[in-house]
Structure 1
Amino acid sequence: MEGRKVTLRDIAVKAGLSVNTISRALKDKEDIAPSTRQMIKELAKEMGYVGNALAGSLRSGLTKTIAVIVSDVANPHFGIMVKEIEKTARKHHYTIFVINTEDDYEMEERAIYTAIGKNVDAIIICPSQRGVDNIRFLQKNGVPFVLIGRRFKDEPDFDYVICDDEKGGYLATKHLIEHGHERVLFLNGPIRISSAQERLEGYRRAHQEAGLPVHEDLIIEVGASAGDTRMVVKQLIEQKAQFTGVFAFNDVIAWEAAYVMQKYGYRVPEDYAVIGFDNIQSRLFIPFQLSSVSNSKGRMSKRAVDIVLHKINHPSSQEKFHEVIDTKLVLRGSTL
């Protein structure tokens, strides 16, 4: 059969059976004897046969695929999340494919069009939040979707599953303040992102509870490009900015900040205490032991899949999903 795809007819000729019998055996239909089914499956494998998923989707109306759209799968946070989504989807016989947007609005729009053009059954998306029109288009199109990690507070019709970012920001800042760090540097993400806004709210709440002023000059928005954090922290150290605690929007930013501090001869945590967000070290071993806020990536990912499967299987359901997963602080060697 080299040079062309193996068909059901090819297997039928080889087995001396009808095409219908071959088809039903490969679908595990019980009217075909178990021994015959096993023989046909072994023959199909030997001949290199792979079923036509497109034909199956035309019959069922489902492609058994879910698109996962994220900003940067190279970020371990998203890498872990995608793996958890894939693992959960696989249990339900779904395949995922991943599209990166680089947090770019136009790339996000193209990703959505690509996913819909592939006839995916659902979309799980971490929105760039540079605008809302892309998600409104998704809603108009009718493909089941859920936002993961970020939400639009002014759009109650968009389903989402996020972590409790406000609580996470509060816990991290509260811990630093309680351990004597009255001036806490907050290296935040882009403020357009809901998680950055809500972690900042937690940062402010911790200061308010402690009766401490919020030093606005210590709240700095850090870009997503490699090296942005290093440049910001380098400037702060050279300017002798007054702070002893650092709370970072994510673990990658925290690691970069600690790297610069150590390069300048400072010790972590003796000179500067550092806390990140995402708890990446729960899944990856990294020699630098970073205290971090755990956002339950596994639970978030599983719930995102559960939500879109519910929407696929109950297309007329009007149920809304606005789910907030709890956060907790995990202490390691970067804080005393």
Structure 2
Amino acid sequence: MFIYTFLISVCIFGAISQTTQAAPSNERLDDDQYDINITLSHQVLKENPKLWQVCTGVKMERAEEYIVAFRAIYQKGIVHHLSAHVCGAPYSDGPYWDCTLHDHICADMGSWYPIDEWGRGANDWILPPDTGVVIGGRYGGKYIVLQVHRKDDFANYIETATVPVSGMTLTVQRSRPQYEVGQLVLGNYGKLPAGVENYTTDSSCPWTRPQPIRLLAYSLHAHNLGKCVSGYLIKDGKWIEIGRGNPAYPEYRFSVWPRNMYVNTGDIMASRCLYSNPGDKEVKFGYQHEDEMCNVYLHYAFPYGLDQSYRHMDCGQDAETYHWEDHFRDIPADSTRPDGNTDQARAGLFRSADY
């Protein structure tokens, strides 16, 4: 995978001690929906302080079910990011495992696709009516794997934590929705040069599938050097802003469902990031905490039953060699401005994330 969707260190550590995690628990909401909690005990992190990424998984009950809401369970100071993934089988059948390496999430990464990402004290995400993330069915993928990315100084907060676990509450629906939910990730690979200010990295890809999709939500992500992230839909040369903002703010999933944004064959989705790297070392794009990222996560709806490939797509370009100016005209002047009339501003996110 060339898109660095998750923050992963490449160090390999020794054996993990066997501390029991908090078991997943189900709460019935009505005849059609129930909540399932997938959590990891903070005791696991405490006893394995060298682990950056820890995974745990749960097998879903029925042949096919549909996730319709994601809610984070976290303690300020302990969790940096949480992400949820679908697997045909988890990488390990233990209660938890080291998933510092990206290919240690699922036993067969060919069956893997990400379904949600949470970070920086972000909001819950409730899907629009008659949409859902499909689990199981004709494509397999009956396991949900939770990946917990701890913070650097997590140990300072564990003893006083009021929440003993980190994880997600998933609302699962039994009845089939009309539309499935997929995810497209716009981003970069390569490296960020040393000693640069106001440096931009770009990406874009056309929608080549015959079936149109409807955008549901987006979120913006970069690491420590990122100053602005923006995403656009380009239709017949016209730029339509999906969203832009400061990646240091809470990583909200902002809904665009009410805007009726459809992506048709030939339309282009594009992303841009603004960076400042005053240091004397180049920084590569990658999974490690000290690497950089430029990701726009786009969640979208498509009719139920289409090919599995609609469920997840990556779009990546070389950070040093790919530039919008070589391909497009009428580039928005505010594509590198995180302020102004943005979803972040309307949500009152005027501060760096305190989580």
TM-score, scaled to structure 2: 0.24
Higher helix share: 1
